[in-house]
């Protein structure tokens, strides 16, 4: 008599199946249509192959293309399909790692003496489609370490042998599809036939294991879809993304630049970009002032001992710039990688009472972290960046209230800048890997509970991710979708019981005894550099009027009207409206076109009629002619737009 097992489905219903039934078979028992779309199975919280058998009572979620984990499984399997195609086209190819990423996948490959060229990608795509049509099953096999080592020794793949060194016997699995076998823990889709459309998007270099002293491999990026139309839609999205690329728009609008002489990953903000930054900083400072924050300023360097005390050096020392030594023996400093240790020392400079708390310190502090050159990307990944950092020191009974106030501040920022689609990610520690974090269970439980309760009280749409906490505490990360539907992590709030302990921070309680404060870290922008990059791509450079670094262009029809234009500019400057006079010897049509390209919100055209009537002809970017205004009427109209925009916040 066969043994029955109980399967609990997401809706809470419980069904009985024979022991050894697979997720795919369970899907088929529910609906053939569902079975055709199942990519993987989530069994007791772990993602498995849909074809893998279930041998005990379990919870089960059937994953499709509509689930993130389903997509990840699809793209991981696509990396294996690409590897099979590469091995067929380029015998002797060796393989590093091939994970799924946010959109698609990559595989790090060693082609030996062959240098892969971009025009070869289409040939690889065609081979992938040819192999996908064979509907080869992904077959999982448990392999002993000795057998696995022998396999890759015979194959001559030193990268897989390197990976095997860190694996324990009994935990090693191979996956095979068609003629390709890989070292992999999985999971994978049932067969290659699910993959209907392929696009290889980029070729880059990547050091093996991220170590610049090891060999540079060829990293091939790609994306696949279960339907051809979805690939077409994605490529259309890519084209739009290219138009919105913050590096391209940043050049066109003259916001920022980079210089090899200054150094990679160190942005230089041009006058217009600096004005944009200053407007953002001013906006945030006003909001912080209303919320009781005090501005502080800390140095760009700190003693190595400071970061050893905080724990940052132990955790992130290898990602920092090398210590700066002085003529004094044993004295060493670091370029500041974090602001929080400095703020702890500011808190500590005098005795504190429970009546003083909460204390909220804010700083637009520039920090420096070493990023490998291959990881640098415009303003989104740099080596020097400015955080809108703040640290709140409060009593344990104030944590939730302060956390909710910070959530309100983050949402205020998002609303003001047009980010309406976001999810709050509750990032907790991995209970299976507590050694990665500092502090005891009780403090972690308190911190995690405060975040979960605060998010619930604010009614946020949340997801929970284990293992994504900072090393000193859990956090709430805001995942924002931009105008193209891409997700960005903007804004973070963290609860920390550890740094106050490490720095021995104290306050005298109402019981006249010494107590430890709790520390809340928060940065609604995150980094100004990354925030500006995301904002540029979200609004395609068409900034809100209050934020735009160049709000008007005054366009004289000829040089005869430059003096009148200068008079107008002086009045507009007095009204706080930023812009300049285009006094080039160009036709007015050219000046208008150039202003449109520069995305200047308003063009004020002045000629003989305007000078006589003491008026301006107004054109609005993207809309065209608005008619004739007196300068007072235009200022009122302009300020009305800003007032309406800011009042909605």
Give the residue among 393, 402, 293, 312 at the shortest CA–CA distance from 350. 393
Spacing of C-alpha 201 from chain mean position: 20
Give the residue among 37, 104, 30, 32 at the shortest CA–CA distance from 66. 37
For the record, the structure tokens of 578 come out as: 């930023």
For the record, the structure tokens of 136 come out as: 């080869």
Q: How many residues does the chain have?
A: 649
Give the residue among 477, 414, 474 at the shortest CA–CA distance from 446. 474
CA-based torsion, 532, 534, 540, 542: positive or negative: negative
Nearest-angstrom CA–CA distance, 152 and 146:
10
3-state SS string for 375-431 = HCECCCECCEEEEEEEEEEECHHHHHHHHHHHHHHHHHHHHHCCCCEEEEEEEECCC
Spacing of C-alpha 613 from chain mean position: 52
* Cis geometry, peptide bond prior to residue 358 (ω within 30 degrees of 0): yes
* Cis geometry, peptide bond prior to residue 187 (ω within 30 degrees of 0): yes
Neighbouring residues of 611: CB distance < 8 A, sequence distance ≥ 6: 561, 564
Degrees, nearest 5: CA angle 138-139-142: 140
Torsion, CA 17, CA 22, CA 28, CA 34, rounded to 10:
120
Catalytic residues: 340, 369, 387, 389, 391, 475, 521
Nearest-angstrom CA–CA distance, 590 and 506:
65
Contact present, 403 and 454 (Cβ < 8 Å): yes
Contact present, 36 and 20 (Cβ < 8 Å): no
Contact present, 92 and 112 (Cβ < 8 Å): yes
User: 3-class SS at 286?
Assistant: helix
Nearest-angstrom CA–CA distance, 298 and 363:
8
For the record, the structure tokens of 456 come out as: 């619930």
Nearest-angstrom CA–CA distance, 145 and 8:
35
Torsion, CA 240, CA 244, CA 249, CA 250, rounded to 10:
-150
Nearest-angstrom CA–CA distance, 333 and 339:
14
CB atoms within 10 A of CB 233: 12
3-state SS string for 151-205 = HHHHHCCHHHHHHHHCCCCCCCEEEEECCEEEECCCCCCCEHHHCCEEEEEEEEE
């Amino acid at each position: 008599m066969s043994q029955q097992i109980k399967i609990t489905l997401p809706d809470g219903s419980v069904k009985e199946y024979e022991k050894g039934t697979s997720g795919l078979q369970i899907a088929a028992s529910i609906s053939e249509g569902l079975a055709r779309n199942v990519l993987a199975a989530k069994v007791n919280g772990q993602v498995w192959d849909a074809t893998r058998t279930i041998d005990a009572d379990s919870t089960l979620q059937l994953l499709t293309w509509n689930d993130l984990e389903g997509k990840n499984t699809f793209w991981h399997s696509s990396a294996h399909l690409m590897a099979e195609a590469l091995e067929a086209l380029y015998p002797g190819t060796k393989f590093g790692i091939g994970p799924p990423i946010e959109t698609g996948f990559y595989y790090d490959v060693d082609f030996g003496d062959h240098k892969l060229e971009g025009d070869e990608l289409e040939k690889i795509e065609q081979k992938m489609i040819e192999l996908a049509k064979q509907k080869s099953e992904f077959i999982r096999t448990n392999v002993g370490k000795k057998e696995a080592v022998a396999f890759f020794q015979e194959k001559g793949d030193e990268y897989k042998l390197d990976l095997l060194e860190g694996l324990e016997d009994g935990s090693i699995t191979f996956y095979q599809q068609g003629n390709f076998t890989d070292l992999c823990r999985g999971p994978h889709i049932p067969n290659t036939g699910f993959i209907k459309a392929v696009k290889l998007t980029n070729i880059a270099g990547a050091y093996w294991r991220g170590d610049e002293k090891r060999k540079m491999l060829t990293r091939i990026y790609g994306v696949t879809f279960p339907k051809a139309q979805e690939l077409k839609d994605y490529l259309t999205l890519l084209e739009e993304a290219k138009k919105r690329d913050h590096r391209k728009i940043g050049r066109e609008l003259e916001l920022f630049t980079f210089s090899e002489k200054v150094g990679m990953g160190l942005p230089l903000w041009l006058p217009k970009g600096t004005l944009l930054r200053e407007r953002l900083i001013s906006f945030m400072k006003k909001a912080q002032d209303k919320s009781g924050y005090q501005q502080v300023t800390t140095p760009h360097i700190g003693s190595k001992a400071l970061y050893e005390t905080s724990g940052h050096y132990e955790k992130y020392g290898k990602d920092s710039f090398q210590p700066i030594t002085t003529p004094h023996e044993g004295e060493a400093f670091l370029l500041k990688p974090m602001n929080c240790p400095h703020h702890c020392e500011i808190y500590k400079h005098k005795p504190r009472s429970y009546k003083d708390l909460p204390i909220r310190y804010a700083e637009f502090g520039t920090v420096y972290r070493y990023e490998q050159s291959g990881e640098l990307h415009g303003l989104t990944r740099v080596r020097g960046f400015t955080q809108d950092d703040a640290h709140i020191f409060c009593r344990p009974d104030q944590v939730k209230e302060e956390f909710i106030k910070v959530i309100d501040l983050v949402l205020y920022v998002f609303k003001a800048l047009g980010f309406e689609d976001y999810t709050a990610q509750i990032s907790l520690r991995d209970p299976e890997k507590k050694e990665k974090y500092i502090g005891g269970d009780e403090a972690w439980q308190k911190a995690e509970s405060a975040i979960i309760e605060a998010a619930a009280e604010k009614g946020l749409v949340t997801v929970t991710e284990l293992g994504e906490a900072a090393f000193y505490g859990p956090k709430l990360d805001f995942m924002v979708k931009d105008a193209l539907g891409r997700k960005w992590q903007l804004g973070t709030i963290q609860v920390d019981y550890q740094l106050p302990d490490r720095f021995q921070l104290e306050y005298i309680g109402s019981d006249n005894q010494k107590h430890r404060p709790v520390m809340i870290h928060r940065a609604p922008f995150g980094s100004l550099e990354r925030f500006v990059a995301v904002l540029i791509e979200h609004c395609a450079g068409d900034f809100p009027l209050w934020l735009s670094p160049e709000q008007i262009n005054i366009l004289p029809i000829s040089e005869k009207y430059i003096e009148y234009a200068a008079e107008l500019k002086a009045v507009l400057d007095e009204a706080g409206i930023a812009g300049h006079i285009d006094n080039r010897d160009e036709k007015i049509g050219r000046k208008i076109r150039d202003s449109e390209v520069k995305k200047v919100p308003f063009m004020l055209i002045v000629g003989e009629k305007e000078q006589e009537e003491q008026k301006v002809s107004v054109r609005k970017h993207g809309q065209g002619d608005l008619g004739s205004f007196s300068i007072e009427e235009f200022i009122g109209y302009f300020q009305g737009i800003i007032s309406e925009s800011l009042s909605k916040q």
